[in-house]
Structure 1
Amino acid sequence: MSETLYRLADPTCVAPLVQSWAAWWMTVAPIPASLHVHKSQLPLLKGYLQNPDFHARAAKDPALSGGTFVGVASERAGEVKALLQQMQEAQADRVRLAEALEEFQGWLVDEAKGQSLEPLYEKLPEPLRGMVELSYDYINRPFVRVMEGALYRGNHHKPQLQSLRLLPLASDASRPHLFTTPYLMEPGQIDWAIPFAEERISRLFETDLSPRPLGYLRDVLGPAVTRDEQLLPLLTDAPPAKYTPWEGPGPRVRYLGHACALVEWKGITLLVDPVISARPSEGGMPRLTFHELPPRIDYALITHSHPDHLAIDTLLRLRHRIGHLVVPRSNGFLVGDYSPKLLARSMGFQNVLELESYESVPLPDGELIAVPFLGEHGDVGHAKSSYVVRTGKQQLLFAADSMCVDDAVYRDMRQNLGPIQTVFMNTETEGAPHTWTLEALFPKKRDRKMEKNRRCRGSNANEGLRILELVGASRLYNYAMGLEPWLEHIIGPPSPPDAPRMKESDRLLTEARARGLTAERLMGPTDLLPGA
């Protein structure tokens, strides 16, 4: 009699955590994580403990979605207090680093007016020594350049605080909000204390496609599992789906949701902005989950670091399948302009390509090309890139949240690459404030009135139409609209039809069709055959 083989059940969600908080770049990259714990997480927990009932109620109010409220029931305030104390102890050196950086940057701006910076190294506080370089821009504004690679080798990078939480996902709305609510232990969950770079993580996730005996899974998880009864409810003995490679004459694009799309072309697979969800036990919008994806993903492409585009949970689960992770290049001049390449390598990725604009990677009868991602989109000069995928004579632009604020960028794109027939682009007229995810990176004193028109927005309808015209597009797919419910724990609930961004999307589609383009707004899994 053959031994029963298991894989993770479809409703089993695996959430990477850093000391009980969801992992994203602001909790993993050393300098941003230091600032974030000091100026965001610790104050948030302290505020919750002053009025747990208010936070718990506000976190459930749809009208307050996106607010800084801890969604933990008041009867569990004692657990939040214990977490606060543990964080203050385990991350005290990060807090000292953040305090030193904030104070020194303010002092440096007042002190450095164009004279040599060399004598000022003597004023560096101890937490910054050996970690930063002082420099000017070309109009003599001083700044601190972080030596990020050194920080990943030092005490401020804390893999010992990393873990994976295995949990049964009842509904998409049941996940704690990524930015504001820590994961407290619940019945039926397993907390696996393991650094993200560990190879054993891949051994667990390999079972998505190659189920293994229960004993194998117990060995992989080690002390995190003491009884089979803990593990079995999170497993299934149902065989994984069989993937059938695409062999069509042209490319196939499998839209998976939000900004995530799988391009299949001549045996090569490219996965753009991978955000994949478990399938909740209580149902919900149909989706493709991990065991239904190809066994090999040749290139995974990241446009930018917002966690609805760079999802650490998805990347870790697919790490063993990804041949090359492609990320935008960081300039490193701002403390928040962390390196996605260094982040990826800290998570165990060996083959990371950091592409400059118009740098390319050859494909069979095709090419992958990094192209400009224009607009602040809430970030100030941080790493970001759009991508063009050429498949034979067809070209596809994955523009993510890029804007058209300079016609010449897209005019040059067409001149450099030729007509781009298919464009995937977002439509966002308002967007969250530019500090939505980055408040901890900013000095406390600044003119917020001047910042009101800086939003995490994409192109409006007029800008979108201009992009389509400039690149010579004949097909538009309006995507990354936040309509899939598995994005709710990151960006809040889907927009209703009468929301400004949806009205702008409707206008874009109507105008594009009037100009003779094929135009469609995407929501949920859809197979597309560009050029067919």
Structure 2
Amino acid sequence: MTLSLKKNVIAEPSIAGWYAWSYLLPPQTLALYLKNHYRTIAESFIANPQTHRTALKQARFQGGPFVIERHEGAHEAVKQWYEATAQQRAPLLELADAIEELEQKILPEQTGASMEAVYKQLPEPLAGCVELFYNRDNRTPDYRFIEPLLYSSPYFDRGLHQVRFSEVHADDRDFALTTPVLEYSPEQVLVTVPLDSALLDDVFRGGLGADDLDRVTAELGLRGERAEVFKGFFEEDTVETGATVETGATGATGAAPPGGGDVIEYVGHACVFVRHRGTTFLVDPVISYSGYSREADGRFTFADLPERVDYVMITHNHQDHMLLETLLKIRHRVGTVLIAKSSGSSLVDPNLKRVLHALGFADVVELDDMDSVRTPGGTVTALPFLGEHGDIRIRTKCGWLLDLDGKRVLFAADSTNVSPELYPRVAALVDHVDTVFIGMESVGAPVSWLYGPLFPERLDRKVDAGRRLKGSNFEQGAAIVDALGADSVYVYAMGQEPWLGAVMCVEYDEAHPAMVDSDKLVAYVRDSGRTAKRLYLHETIALGT
């Protein structure tokens, strides 16, 4: 008898007590989010929880800086946790202060003279960890982090890494990014474990004997009742699949069985699974759980993944495209992770390859614009990706073009066609693209919703409202489709699936601009005799259709 996690057990990673996403791994960005964002949320909730309760009754405040209470005693639990962990946060707050001193006091005084003496003015947390320079006008000072040195410093503290295990019983998820990840009830088990720990692979791989489970439980530091609750998250395996064991019937949710032929499976939001000539690809992994009542029929869930995912391809570094919760759960299956090349260790664009290494992924390959890697039966090419990032300098983004024996499939994600000349130039290099997946969340959140804690000063409200994290509208999307000559067009990445609630708060009705724009694109493509559909929940697509 062997044991694996039940299909409805979720494992929520956290860093410094907050739901973990990629910007909480680098010490420099974690420091600023703790100081400029999470500290405000926690202290506001502790001082006046009723303000949070009142705000969350209004739809427009969903996804805002408010703590969600689902358990009795949550307010006291947050208060005790925040007081008890003050010393853990202190070094990171010192690092945040040092960054702000550099940006707001030291650099503004530099007007073109030599930077040599300025290094002596650096606050101690940054000394030896940054390079100072002028931009090309020879007047504007700037800097970059020497990130490996920060990751090897005390500011990168794996003791702040935790994972909370619990069971879910429906697809709907509360927004997770603004509520401390604590043990709010006896049914939750929070363990302190580095996110790159091989122990987590043991847990998620499953197929554990009773002695193995005892060992893993003990090495996670669990004793007594908490150990028994943790063991209760496991169940006997029922179906053997080669060297490992999966619980439940493979493909039971309606997705194509993992061992089948060539196929494209829309998994939800921007996540797509592709199998071609036995090679498997997974784009922007955000995957649904299963094993509970009232689940959506026909979904592709973790149980439908093959034992091996040869390539994970991440279009850009937003939490709904690079979800740590999913990545950690599938890490033991993954061969190579493909990402866009980073810009140079800035605050707003930390090195994603280093983030993934810190998460325990060994084989990470960066591709620059129009770079390719060969795969059995084809290539993967990184295409330029404009927009979606509020006009800040983010380089770590690309669309992924899969060439599968001459059938070309583009995953454009939230690429916004702000420069209509771009895609005709791309088409001249890559020729015909058969199928395009395109995101059309054409309104999006203001740039400060995600990046505000990293800005040295608050954006003017009008400017903030005009610089948004959005995908293409109808005109922009239609121009992409026409430039590439696509025969099939699928609108995706709309955030409609209920399990996206943990990281997104998008509410649509038929009059919402994103729905209007995507309906118009679908109609436009169909009117020309081509295939088009807005995707939701799950779709099986034959290659080339």
**How far apart, CA to CA, are the structure 2 residues paired with 1:187 and 1:498?**
43
**How far apart, CA to CA, are the structure 1 residues paired with 2:321 and 2:424?**
26
- Does structure 2 conserve the Cα–Cα contact (< 8 Å) formed by 1:274 and 1:314? yes
Give the aligned residue type for 2:162: S
Aligned: 1:397 with 2:410: yes
Which of 31, 37, 57 is the matching residue for 1:40? Answer: 37
Deviations 1:482-507 (A, max 9, x none): 11000012111542233221111111
Equivalent position of 1:110 in the other structure = 108
1:444 offset after TM fit, Å?
A: 2.3
Give the aligned residue type for 1:89: Q
1:63-102 pair list within 5 angstroms? 63-72=60-69, 75-102=73-100
**How far apart, CA to CA, are the structure 1 residues paired with 2:360 and 2:459?**
38
Give the aligned residue type for 2:454: L
Unaligned runs of 5+ in 1: none
Aligned: 1:55 with 2:52: yes
- Over 3 Å counting, the alpha-carbon distance change for 1:54 and 1:451 in structure 2 is closer
Equivalent position of 1:455 in the other structure = 468
- Over 3 Å counting, the alpha-carbon distance change for 1:28 and 1:87 in structure 2 is farther
- Does structure 1 conserve the Cα–Cα contact (< 8 Å) formed by 2:16 and 2:89? no
Give the aligned residue type for 1:158: D
Equivalent position of 1:154 in the other structure = 153
- Over 3 Å counting, the alpha-carbon distance change for 1:379 and 1:347 in structure 2 is farther
Give the aligned residue type for 1:215: D
**How far apart, CA to CA, are the structure 2 residues paired with 1:512 and 1:252?**
22
Deviations 1:410-443 (A, max 9, x none): 1121111111110000112211001111111001
1:527 offset after TM fit, Å?
A: 0.6
TM value normalised by structure 2: 0.92
Equivalent position of 2:243 in the other structure = none
Deviations 1:333-375 (A, max 9, x none): 5322101100111111111111111111111221011111111
Which of 354, 357, 361 is the matching residue for 1:349? Answer: 361
Aligned: 1:275 with 2:286: yes
SS at match of 1:323: strand
1:124-135 pair list within 5 angstroms? 124-135=122-133
Equivalent position of 1:183 in the other structure = 181
- Does structure 2 conserve the Cα–Cα contact (< 8 Å) formed by 1:246 and 1:264? no
1:101-250 pair list within 5 angstroms? 101-139=99-137, 140-175=139-174, 177-185=175-183, 186-207=185-206, 211-222=207-218, 223-227=221-225, 229-239=228-238, 240=246, 241-242=249-250, 244-245=257-258, 248=261
- Does structure 2 conserve the Cα–Cα contact (< 8 Å) formed by 1:484 and 1:494? no
SS at match of 1:413: helix
Deviations 1:3-33 (A, max 9, x none): x322111110111111331110222221110
- Does structure 1 conserve the Cα–Cα contact (< 8 Å) formed by 2:164 and 2:182? no
1:272 offset after TM fit, Å?
A: 0.1
- Does structure 1 conserve the Cα–Cα contact (< 8 Å) formed by 2:134 and 2:141? yes
- Over 3 Å counting, the alpha-carbon distance change for 1:317 and 1:45 in structure 2 is same
- Over 3 Å counting, the alpha-carbon distance change for 1:411 and 1:225 in structure 2 is farther
**How far apart, CA to CA, are the structure 2 residues paired with 1:74 and 1:169?**
18
Equivalent position of 2:254 in the other structure = none
- Does structure 2 conserve the Cα–Cα contact (< 8 Å) formed by 1:377 and 1:458? no
More off after superposition, 358-367 vs 279-288: 279-288
Equivalent position of 1:15 in the other structure = 12
1:213 offset after TM fit, Å?
A: 2.5
**How far apart, CA to CA, are the structure 2 residues paired with 1:432 and 1:280?**
33
**How far apart, CA to CA, are the structure 1 residues paired with 2:338 and 2:223?**
35
Equivalent position of 1:295 in the other structure = 307
**How far apart, CA to CA, are the structure 2 residues paired with 1:17 and 1:397?**
33
More off after superposition, 342-351 vs 495-504: 495-504
Aligned: 1:367 with 2:379: yes
**How far apart, CA to CA, are the structure 2 residues paired with 1:428 and 1:346?**
31
1:182 offset after TM fit, Å?
A: 1.1
**How far apart, CA to CA, are the structure 1 residues paired with 2:127 and 2:323?**
32
1:406 offset after TM fit, Å?
A: 1.5
SS at match of 1:120: helix
Unaligned runs of 5+ in 2: 239-245, 252-256
Give the aligned residue type for 1:20: G
- Does structure 2 conserve the Cα–Cα contact (< 8 Å) formed by 1:423 and 1:477? yes
More off after superposition, 326-335 vs 219-228: 219-228
SS at match of 1:396: strand
Which of 404, 409, 414 is the matching residue for 2:427? Answer: 414
- Over 3 Å counting, the alpha-carbon distance change for 1:105 and 1:96 in structure 2 is same
- Alignment root-mean-square deviation, CA: 1.9
More off after superposition, 231-240 vs 267-276: 231-240
- Does structure 1 conserve the Cα–Cα contact (< 8 Å) formed by 2:217 and 2:230? no
**How far apart, CA to CA, are the structure 2 residues paired with 1:115 and 1:435?**
33
Equivalent position of 1:262 in the other structure = 273
1:289 offset after TM fit, Å?
A: 2.2
Equivalent position of 2:449 in the other structure = 436
- Does structure 2 conserve the Cα–Cα contact (< 8 Å) formed by 1:135 and 1:144? yes
**How far apart, CA to CA, are the structure 2 residues paired with 1:446 and 1:11?**
41
**Percent of residue pairs identical:** 33
1:58 offset after TM fit, Å?
A: 2.3
